[in-house]
Structure 1
Amino acid sequence: MPPKAKNFVSDIKPWKTEWRVHVKAVHSWKQQSKFGGESLEMILADETGAKIHASCKHGFLAKVQRDLPINEWRVIDTFNVSPARGHYRTTAHAYRIAITKDTSIASSDVKIETPFLSLASFTSINNGDLDPDFLIDVFGQVVDIGDMLTVQVSGEERQKCEFYLRDTR
């Protein structure tokens, strides 16, 4: 049987699960929700710089953290694809990846060292030119940082810290 073809992140659509992508995890965080429990959320980038949101449920968390470390290239095979929805989307990709029990993660021969950031300018932020439903990448110098505050978010206590960034350009 011939090897599976390599796909780019921009090609991924929900009409099949047999995708094979070479990606680098550029960011990850754990998330807790009332409905899904704990999950691992990630931003994956391919060699063209295209990014997609990926997640895995609690049952696969340890395996994915071990097999898909930040800044390491991997081949990911066989995953679910669904529409990306909601406020504060992490990428502009129309879909997101769900890593399942059938997903395999292996080493990749791709070795690109770019961080794949899409930095927004302070001007575009201040002018309101950016879509507020998407998170943005920004670099700046912290010039003032407030106290750590405890706030209520959806009935739960969370820690909050406000700070000001200065454009370093």
Structure 2
Amino acid sequence: LRITDMWRLNKHNGRQSIEMVLMDHTGTKIGATLWQELFTEFEPKLHCGGAYVIQNMKVVDTHSDYKVSAIKYLVYFVKTTSVKEVDRHEIPPNVHVITSFADIISGVAKLDTLVDIVGVIAEVIERKTVNPAYRVTVKLRDNSHVEIIMTVWEEYVLQLNDAIEKNHFGQKPLVVMLTLAKIKEPKDDEGGVSQSQSTQNCQDKFLHNAQIVSFGAIKTLRQDCYYLTVGTVDEVMIDTPWSHDSCPYCTTTFDPLKIGAACRSCQNHVTHTIPRYKLVVKMEQNGEKANFHFWDAVCIKIFGKTADECRQELIASGDEIKVFPACVDQLLGKTWVVRFKHRIQMQQSSVLDFSEQEHHIQSVISTLGLQVIII
């Protein structure tokens, strides 16, 4: 057998386990569980991708909602289990049986069985990458032109979000393969596969589901929520760094001097850090001013390059990386509608997206009853 997937799991009763997917030479898969009581004996012998002869495993019926295949059995490691690593080139690294979106929607694919899917990203619905719980939601379309909604969480967010950002300028079809995915029934309020959502025009997509507020009203907000406002960039605050080093698995700031330790947020072992933007921008609106935090994804959209690329340019020109890059100056004087999330506890407004389209600006100005902003 070959171990094709392997992960740790905290059970609801407090016990820990290592879950595995075992595959034979025919590509048939079965789930396996190693309980924490046997970690010391077996964990050093097992690694993902390895091939083994395993004897004396306990076979049990499984009623799990997370079966790795249609097989109704699960195997356990026990004290008398024997494990021997071997070379078995006839067992492929992995075999994926792709489930069609039509089978998922029609119910042919069972809710209690994990599936492998492939599709092209047709629409990015939501990217929550600033604070836990991190998630990215997209609409996928398969080769039969059937669409479903896919959400990835936590450590998988970085992989997908980075791919989306890197593809932002190339605008090539972005194909995603998701393995061992859990099928969930859509909630009525999600509207993920509804026709109305997919046919909304661009203005609705940017302006919908957010309250429009003036700068003066931001100070009086009493709940964490999504808001829209309009203003002109007056100043980029230079008393805070323009970038920070972060954990590669999430967006939490991580000191490069502590590489080798675990991230305080996601608990992953950090072997390297990723530079990310963190700009504090003061905007003006009819005499009133407010500060907004522009994070990595938004800044990449504005500048067309990553924070790491900016740092490399500074180094090449002989400057320190703490020097603000020249591209930041292009923010000054820009008039935008900004979509932001306000956090009451931190009194912080984080920009999630922006628009400089005339009809968006005039729509928000009209709603707020502001004087016309000269663009």
TM-score (norm: length of structure 2)? 0.34
Taking the TM superposition and a 5 Å limit, the aligned residue runs for 1:62-141 are 63-111=41-89, 112-141=91-120
Change (3 A) 1:60 1:161: farther
Task: Give the distance between the partners of 1:66 and 1:168, measured in 2 at CA.
Answer: 42
User: Which amino acid counterpart does residue 83 of structure 2 have in structure 1?
Assistant: I
3-state SS of 2:53 partner: strand
Partner residue of 2:139? 164
Change (3 A) 1:61 1:160: farther
Change (3 A) 1:36 1:118: farther
Change (3 A) 1:76 1:132: same
Q: Of 107, 128, 137, which aligns to 1:148?
A: 128
Bigger Cα displacement from structure 2, 137-146 vs 83-92: 137-146
Task: Give the distance between the partners of 1:164 and 1:62, measured in 2 at CA.
Answer: 43
Change (3 A) 1:64 1:167: farther
User: Which amino acid counterpart does residue 128 of structure 2 have in structure 1?
Assistant: M
Query: RMSD value over aligned CA atoms?
Result: 2.6
Q: Of 38, 54, 60, which aligns to 2:32?
A: 54
Deviation per residue, 1:79-137 (Å, 9 max, x gap): 11110113232221121111122212112342122512111112222333211221111
1:70: how far off? 1.5
3-state SS of 2:96 partner: coil
Task: Give the distance between the partners of 1:31 and 1:132, measured in 2 at CA.
Answer: 20
3-state SS of 2:117 partner: coil
Partner residue of 1:15? none
Unaligned runs of at least 5 residues, structure 1? 1-22, 150-156
**Number of residue pairs matched by the alignment:** 141
Aligned-residue identity in percent: 26
Question: Contact 2:58–2:76 (CA<8 Å) still a contact in 1?
Answer: yes
Change (3 A) 1:100 1:142: farther
Question: Contact 1:36–1:57 (CA<8 Å) still a contact in 2?
Answer: no
Change (3 A) 1:97 1:159: farther
3-state SS of 1:61 partner: helix
Higher helix share: 2
3-state SS of 1:138 partner: strand
Q: Of 20, 38, 63, which aligns to 1:42?
A: 20
Greater relative contact order (Cα < 8 A, sep 6+): 1
3-state SS of 1:140 partner: strand
3-state SS of 2:108 partner: coil
1:62: how far off? 5.5
3-state SS of 2:31 partner: strand
Deviation per residue, 1:22-75 (Å, 9 max, x gap): x11111111111325111111111112221110111233355443222222111
1:159: how far off? 4.9
Task: Give the distance between the partners of 1:122 and 1:64, measured in 2 at CA.
Answer: 38
Unaligned runs of at least 5 residues, structure 2? 145-375
Question: Contact 2:49–2:93 (CA<8 Å) still a contact in 1?
Answer: no
Task: Give the distance between the partners of 1:60 and 1:118, measured in 2 at CA.
Answer: 32
1:145: how far off? 5.6
3-state SS of 1:55 partner: strand
User: Which amino acid counterpart does residue 89 of structure 1 have in structure 2?
Assistant: K
Task: Give the distance between the partners of 2:94 and 2:126, measured in 1 at CA.
Answer: 29
TM-score (norm: length of structure 1)? 0.70
Task: Give the distance between the partners of 2:12 and 2:105, measured in 1 at CA.
Answer: 34
Taking the TM superposition and a 5 Å limit, the aligned residue runs for 1:21-36 are 23-35=1-13
Change (3 A) 1:139 1:63: farther
Change (3 A) 1:82 1:127: same
